[in-house]
Amino acid sequence: MTDTSNPQDRTPTPDPAEDNAFFPSPYSLTQYTADKTDFDSLVTDQKYTGGKWKILTIATEERYMLMKNGKFFSTGNHPVETLLPIHHMYEAGYGIDVATISGGPGKFEWWAYPKDDEAIASAWAGTKEKFKNPLKLADVIAEGLDDYAAIFIPGGHGAMNVIPFDQDVQAALDHFLGNDKLIITLCHGPAALLAGNIGRDSNPFSGYQITAFPDSLDFGANLEIGYLPGEMPWDLGGTLKKEGIKIINDDMTGATTRDRNLLTGDSPLAANQLGKDSVTALLEQFGN
C-alpha cells in the first residue's frame, strides 16, 4: 500500500504484488483522496417498494493498466465512484447485482477508500460479497435483463482496460439503450460507451453529451504529481470524441449531466450528486 509518511513525495509508490507496478504517489493522494466523502443526505425519503427493479453494476476485474513506458498502474474500480452512487440507489429501494466480464472478482483502488465515511462503509458491507463473487456478464445477459432498470459502470482507470472492447458489454448497453432504461457512469467509466461501436460503422451514443474525467489532467497534472507512473495507453476523452460523443466539461468540478437516459459525472467529486440524480431518474421512470 502507498506509503504516506512523506506526503510531499511525488514519486509513484511501488506495488509489491506485481513487477514494475505502482500506486499513486503520497503527494497525489493528498490531492485526490480524503477520509470522508461529501455525502450529506439522500435526495428523497421516497423509496421504491415494488420489489422487481434492480441495478446491474458492471465492475472491472482488471487490476493493472499497462502504461506506454512499460510500467503498470495499480488501479481497479474507484471506491467512491462505485459505492457512493450504489448507496443512494440501494437506499432508494433498488436491488444491486454485480457482474464482471469473466465472473472474476471486481478489483478496487483501496488507496482511495475513505475510511471514516459511513455511507461508503454501509454500501461496502451490503455489496462486498457481490464484488468478490460477481455474476458473469454473459450469463446475466443469457438469463435476461428485463428486471434491470439501469446499468451502472463505475469509474477508476481499470474501466478502460477490457470493458470498452467487450461484446457482452455492447449487448448489455444495447438492451438498456433500446428499452429506454437508464445508463449511469462517471469519471473513466464512460470508456464503456466505446463498446457500442464494436463491429459497427457508428456508435449509437454519437451525439450524446456527457461529463467525464478530463484528458488534460490524465496527460498533465496526474503525471506531474505522480498519480500515474507513466502516460496512459490511450486518451479517454479524445477517443470518445472521435466517435461523436460530446464531452461538455474541460476540468474536474464534480459536474454531472443527463442526456436522455444517459447520466454521467466527471470524477469522484461527482459521485454523490450522480447518486442523487440517478435516484431521481429511477423513481420517475421505475418507481412503481
Which residues carry out catalysis?
A: 187
The CA-atom distances, in angstroms, between 132 and each of 25, 106, 127, 218 are 27, 6, 9, 29
H/E segment holding residue 74 = strand 72-74
DSSP classification of residue 152: E
Any residues with CB less than 8 A from the CB of 31 and at least 6 apart, and which? 225, 227
* Grid-cell match 477517443, residue found: 239
Pairing type for strands 209-210 and 135-136 reads: unpaired
Q: How many CB atoms lie within 10 A of CB 248?
A: 13
Contact 245, 193 (CB under 8 A): yes
CA distances to 53, 68, 136, 207 from 201, rounded to whole Å, are: 33, 28, 28, 15
Residue 138 makes CB contacts below 8 A (sequence gap 6+) with 101, 168
